[in-house]
Amino acid sequence: MKKLLAIVLLITVVFANAQTAEEKLTTTLKEFHQALVKKNIVSINQQTDKALSYGHSNGWVETKTELMKNLETGYMNYNSYKEDSVQVVINGNVAHARFVADIAATLNGKDGNFHLKVMEVWVRKGKRWLLFARQAVRG
């Protein structure tokens, strides 16, 4: 009886601590956004697909190379990035995330605060999720 109780408790603890795939991707996307703020180029490189299309609310679209170069040179700085109402849908090795973001950024020396609706497309390669595409519109 004690062994059975111990097994039931162990299983309960494991399931209580397990994150869903959607929760894991939500954590990954939030970590990516904070890597933008911290200019963690290594992390950004690891979390983005080589074919990245990174669309901004003003119509500007960056490739992965351009995104990283613009961060490294200071042409683009993310001062803060806060997500709200994150919704993630996973279909096999592809997922999309929709959320509202409040972003403070500096572009070519000009500061701005943006309230945006964002959609990101993520692809799973091996055990990692990589950002494949992003588009934002003013919300």
Burial of 16 (0-12, 13-18, 19+ CB in 10 A): exposed
- Output the pLDDT for position 139: 81
Number of other CB atoms surrounding residue 118 within 10 Å: 22
Greatest CA separation found in the chain?
A: 68
Q: Which amino acid is at 91?
A: N
Segment 49-67 shows an average pLDDT of 97
Minimum mean pLDDT range among 6-10, 27-31, 64-68, 90-94: 6-10
- Tokens of residue 138, six digits: 């003013």
Q: For 2-138, give the CATH class.
A: alpha beta
- Cα first-last separation, the chain: 58
Task: State the Cα–Cα distance between residues 56 and 125, nearest whole angstrom.
Answer: 25
- Residue 113: the pLDDT is 97
Per-domain boundaries in the chain: 2-138
